[in-house]
Structure 1
């Protein structure tokens, strides 16, 4: 966990503590900090920070949702967390793909997936087996390879088949 991830976690912890104490001034300050960090990460296209902020917002939202008999102030902060999560999700959804060069650099999951696809179209489970990567690694890199125009995918029953795009040079 990076230093910034730890800092985001602490802000989330402080937010939940402030809500538990019903210290709305501190709670609002912690929410504002999270929102400012989300805007800064969006503007600077810091994908990892947006992912960390999404985790903190989801954790705080879940914790607050599970409280017994939340009052109006609790519900107000819950709504703010929901809005923050939506903003972060929108920012993460519009983040441009990484350049093809960084996706296909030797030793990266993208390079391994592209090498496996040279033998022909494959499903995600087949790519996991062919590359030795985890399902999470393969599942994480496939959308980026699609967005970069290096592969295309189509549904085949309950699975998705992936193939190199014609004209792409893996």
Structure 2
């Protein structure tokens, strides 16, 4: 048990109590604190605390799911818990980016994208056309290329432009 677990458990209990009392200001404050602790654990890569948060958020969501006659306000908090649970699950499931050498390996989607970006910045549809890859393959490779620091992206209207990161 981490040193933070009793405090997080108390926070989850206070959230459930506040929802039971229909004290929405307190419920929102407790939800916000849970979200802040989640972000802090994500940034610091505290996997133990993320596991604790996952259990507690699931417990709160389940408790609300089993409640009879939830009000609209309570269902709203239940939805927020579900979104927080998804965020925690995504943080726990992320893998560190592969080394840049592996991303440059010939025959990989990442290598094809890097080669296409060698001619200059391109949108995702242009990368699909230039590489012959599917939209899903390009969409899967770009976040890893960004995480490895090889590609930078920025919005341009409804599209996203991608370019090789210089230096």
TM-score for the superposition, normalised by structure 1? 0.55
| Counterpart-to-counterpart distance in 2, 1:16 and 1:10 | 10
Note the C-alpha offset of 1:95: 4.7
Matching of residue 62 in structure 1 with residue 62 in structure 2: yes
Matching of residue 45 in structure 1 with residue 45 in structure 2: yes
Note the C-alpha offset of 1:45: 0.5
Which protein has the larger Cα radius of gyration, Structure 1 or Structure 2?
2
Instruction: Point out where structure 1 has 5 or more consecutive residues left out of the alignment.
Output: 98-170
Deviations 1:109-166 (A, max 9, x none): xxxxxxxxxxxxxxxxxxxxxxxxxxxxxxxxxxxxxxxxxxxxxxxxxxxxxxxxxx
Q: Which residue of 2 aligns with 1:73?
A: 73
| Counterpart-to-counterpart distance in 2, 1:95 and 1:18 | 36
Q: Give the RMSD, CA atoms, in angstroms.
A: 1.3
| Counterpart-to-counterpart distance in 2, 1:96 and 1:19 | 37
| Contact 1:45 1:95 (8 Å CA) reproduced | no
| Counterpart-to-counterpart distance in 1, 2:3 and 2:15 | 18
TM-score for the superposition, normalised by structure 2? 0.56
The 1:39/1:95 distance shift into structure 2, 3 A limit, reads farther
Write out the 4+ residue segments of structure 1 that deviate beyond 4 Å after TM superposition.
none
- Name the count of aligned residue pairs: 97
Deviations 1:69-123 (A, max 9, x none): 10100100000000000000000001549xxxxxxxxxxxxxxxxxxxxxxxxxx
